[in-house]
Structure 1
Amino acid sequence: MRQMGIDYVKIGDKLARSILASDGQILLGKGVLLTAGYLSKLRGLGITAVYIEDEQFQDLQIIDPISDDTRREALHNVKVATDAIRSGRSIDGTKVKKTVNSIVEECIANQGVLMNLMDMRSTEDWLIPHSVSVCIMATVLGIARSLDRNRLMELAVGGLMHDVGLTKVPKEILQKGEDRLSDEERALYEKHTEEGFALLRRIQELSVVTAHVAYQHHERVDGSGYPRQLTGDDIHLYGRIVAVVDLYDKLVNGTLGAKPVLPHQACEMLMGLSGRYLDMELVQLFLKNVATYPSGISVRLSTGEVGVVVDQNKSIPMRPVVRVLQERYRFVETKEYNLIKDTTVFIKDVLR
Structure 2
Amino acid sequence: MASKDHSIMFPVDKLMPGLYVDIGLPWTDHPFLFKRFKIKTQQEVNIIQGLGLKEIKVFPERSDGLIKKHDAQTVAAEPADNSAAENASASGASDHDKMWAQKQQRIDEAAQFRNRRLKVDREYQETIKRVKNLTRDLKTAPANAIRDAGELIETLTEAFGDDGDVLMNLVSLSDSEFSIYHHALNVTVLALTLGAARGMQGEDLKELGIGAMLHDIGKILVPGQILAKEGGELNPSEQAILDSHPALGAKMAGRVGKLNDAIIEIIENHHEMLDGSGHPRQLREPDISSSAQMVTVANVYDNLCNPVNPNKAVTPKQAVATLYAKYRGRIDETLIGRFIQTMGVYPPGTVVMLSDDSIGLVVAVDAKALLKPQVLLYNPDIPKQEALMIDLNKRDDLNIVDVLKPTEYPKRIYDYLGIHERIGYFNERSLKA
TM-score under structure 1 length normalisation: 0.70
Q: Which residue of 1 aligns with 2:241?
A: 188
- Kindly tell me: are residues 258 and 192 of structure 1, through their superposed partners in 2, closer, same or farther at Cα, counting changes over 3 Å? farther
> What letter matches 1:347 in structure 2?
D
1:262-273 correspondence to structure 2 within 5 Å: 262-273=315-326
Give the match's secondary structure for 1:118: strand
Partner of residue 267 from structure 2, selected from 197, 203, 214? 214
1:157-168 correspondence to structure 2 within 5 Å: 157-168=210-221
Percent identical residues: 27
Q: Which residue of 2 aligns with 1:346?
A: 401
Give the match's secondary structure for 1:289: helix
Residues 149-158 or 299-308, more deviating:
299-308
Any conservation in 1 of the 2:121–2:171 contact (CA below 8 Å)? no
1:84-103 correspondence to structure 2 within 5 Å: 84-85=137-138, 90-92=142-144, 93-103=146-156
Distance in 2 between the 1:323 and 1:106 partners? 23
Distance in 1 between the 2:346 and 2:354 partners? 12
- Kindly tell me: are residues 255 and 55 of structure 1, through their superposed partners in 2, closer, same or farther at Cα, counting changes over 3 Å? farther
Any conservation in 2 of the 1:111–1:143 contact (CA below 8 Å)? no
CA displacement at 1:251 relative to structure 2: 1.4
Pair 1:139 & 2:192 matched: yes
> What letter matches 1:281 in structure 2?
T
Q: Deviations over 1:73-92 (max 9, x none)?
A: 54233322332345x55342
Whose helix proportion is higher, 1 or 2?
A: 2
Q: Deviations over 1:176-232 (max 9, x none)?
A: 344521111101101101110001112222212111111000001111001121122
CA displacement at 1:268 relative to structure 2: 0.9
Any conservation in 2 of the 1:310–1:321 contact (CA below 8 Å)? yes
CA displacement at 1:297 relative to structure 2: 5.7
Q: Which residue of 2 aligns with 1:281?
A: 334
Q: Deviations over 1:255-278 (max 9, x none)?
A: 366622211111111111342222
Give the match's secondary structure for 1:288: helix
Distance in 2 between the 1:160 and 1:323 partners? 30
Q: Which residue of 2 aligns with 1:231?
A: 284
Any conservation in 1 of the 2:353–2:403 contact (CA below 8 Å)? yes
Distance in 2 between the 1:329 and 1:147 partners? 44
Q: Deviations over 1:232-287 (max 9, x none)?
A: 24211111000000111111122366622211111111111342222211111111
Any conservation in 1 of the 2:353–2:400 contact (CA below 8 Å)? no
Question: Structure 2 unaligned runs (5+)?
Answer: 1-106, 415-433
Give the match's secondary structure for 1:99: helix
Any conservation in 2 of the 1:302–1:348 contact (CA below 8 Å)? no
Distance in 1 between the 2:322 and 2:401 partners? 20
Bigger RCO (CA 8 Å, 6+ sep): 2
Q: Which residue of 2 aligns with 1:252?
A: 305
Residues 67-76 or 162-171, more deviating:
67-76
Distance in 2 between the 1:259 and 1:320 partners? 26
> What letter matches 1:349 in structure 2?
L
Q: Which residue of 1 aligns with 2:98?
A: none
Any conservation in 2 of the 1:63–1:117 contact (CA below 8 Å)? no
Q: Deviations over 1:25-81 (max 9, x none)?
A: xxxxxxxxxxxxxxxxxxxxxxxxxxxxx99953535978x9556544542333223
Any conservation in 2 of the 1:307–1:325 contact (CA below 8 Å)? yes
CA displacement at 1:169 relative to structure 2: 1.1
- Kindly tell me: are residues 205 and 307 of structure 1, through their superposed partners in 2, closer, same or farther at Cα, counting changes over 3 Å? closer
Question: Structure 1 unaligned runs (5+)?
Answer: 1-53
Any conservation in 1 of the 2:168–2:366 contact (CA below 8 Å)? no
Structure having the higher Rg? 2
Any conservation in 1 of the 2:354–2:402 contact (CA below 8 Å)? yes
- Kindly tell me: are residues 343 and 174 of structure 1, through their superposed partners in 2, closer, same or farther at Cα, counting changes over 3 Å? same
> What letter matches 2:404 in structure 1?
D
Distance in 2 between the 1:73 and 1:324 partners? 27
CA displacement at 1:158 relative to structure 2: 0.4
- Kindly tell me: are residues 195 and 326 of structure 1, through their superposed partners in 2, closer, same or farther at Cα, counting changes over 3 Å? closer
TM-score under structure 2 length normalisation: 0.58
- Kindly tell me: are residues 123 and 327 of structure 1, through their superposed partners in 2, closer, same or farther at Cα, counting changes over 3 Å? closer
Q: CA RMSD in A?
A: 3.7
Q: Which residue of 1 aligns with 2:136?
A: 83
Q: Deviations over 1:301-329 (max 9, x none)?
A: 57754345477564563564668645557
- Kindly tell me: are residues 84 and 201 of structure 1, through their superposed partners in 2, closer, same or farther at Cα, counting changes over 3 Å? same
Distance in 1 between the 2:198 and 2:141 partners? 36
- Kindly tell me: are residues 151 and 256 of structure 1, through their superposed partners in 2, closer, same or farther at Cα, counting changes over 3 Å? farther
Distance in 1 between the 2:128 and 2:391 partners? 37
